[in-house]
């Protein structure tokens, strides 16, 4: 039997990149998916791919920083599938005015309040909102798995994106705090902290020299793949991780170890 047969999963930012890899991996294990993404067209394409695999899925256009959108996302899961077993908070941005954080842009004296607020809203506030939206359902079920995608930058900090790193540090602490709050209801709350991953907003904007430099920082001398993040998420939402909560699972090829 598939590991997630009969389970219902919501993946935010689930249409492409790491989110797309997570969505299809969970579907392969039998989960029904709610693909919540700001890009509805891409989300619908991912739904078509999942249905072609024999699993069920629905796309919901979702701005994860807006409470009404998040409520609609959770309501869609209940109305379509009757329950919510898994939430993967994957949606995020590097900066509000483009796809990449940059050293000059993120200098504290140059960073605008609007830029700070936007990154915090999408990367950090959204995790709170999505967890809030599913908590009552999971508590009623006395079961649930929540995985928040953070970042190695949330542990180490980065001069080139202090607002991004701060938002991911917030996700890490929220994960630990919520894990303590929800454990008595049979709900596991964990996080995956990726390093630099191929095909994401950061890697695709870098030069080959920058990619090679970042690869050299890893023990394996290569960048990670979205599928490797998806495998870590699958482990944490499966029964194999039933006694794990509040864990921040590093998937960075050994670039940072703690």
Give catalytic residues, as residue numbers: 164
| Tokens of residue 115, six digits | 């830029």
Q: Which two tokens stand for residue 55?
A: 């699993």
State the Cα angle at 86 between 83 and 87, rounded to 5°: 110
Please give the C-alpha separations between residue 90 and each of 22, 53, 82, 161, 177, in angstroms, as whole numbers: 9, 22, 22, 18, 18
* Dist. CA 38–CA 40, nearest whole Å: 6
Residue 114's CB is within 10 A of a number of other CB atoms, namely 10
99 DSSP assignment: S
DSSP string of 78-112, one letter each residue: HHHHS---EEEE----SBTTBS---TTTTSTTT--
């Amino acid at each position: 039997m598939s590991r997630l047969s009969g389970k219902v999963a919501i993946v935010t930012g689930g249409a492409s990149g790491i989110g797309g890899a997570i969505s299809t991996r969970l579907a392969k294990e039998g989960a029904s998916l709610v693909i919540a993404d700001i890009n509805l067209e891409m989300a619908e394409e991912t739904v078509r791919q999942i249905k072609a695999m024999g699993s069920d899925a629905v796309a919901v256009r979702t701005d994860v920083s807006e409470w009404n959108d998040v409520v609609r996302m959770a309501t869609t899961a209940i109305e379509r599938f009757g329950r919510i077993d898994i939430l993967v908070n994957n949606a995020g941005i590097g900066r509000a005015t483009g796809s990449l954080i940059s050293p000059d842009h993120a200098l504290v004296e140059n960073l605008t309040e609007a830029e700070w607020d936007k990154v915090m809203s999408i990367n950090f506030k959204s995790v709170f909102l999505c967890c809030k939206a599913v908590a009552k359902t999971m508590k009623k079920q006395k079961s649930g798995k929540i995985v928040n995608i953070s970042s190695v930058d949330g542990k180490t900090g980065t001069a080139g994106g202090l607002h991004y790193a701060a938002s991911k540090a917030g996700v890490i602490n929220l994960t630990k705090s919520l894990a303590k709050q929800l454990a008595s209801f049979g709900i596991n709350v964990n996080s995956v902290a990726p390093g630099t991953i191929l095909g994401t907003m950061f890697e695709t904007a870098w030069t080959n020299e920058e990619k090679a430099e970042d690869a050299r920082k890893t023990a394996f001398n290569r960048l990670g793949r979205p599928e490797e993040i998806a495998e870590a998420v699958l482990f944490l939402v499966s029964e194999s991780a039933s006694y794990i909560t509040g864990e921040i699972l590093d998937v960075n090829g050994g670039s940072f170890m703690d």
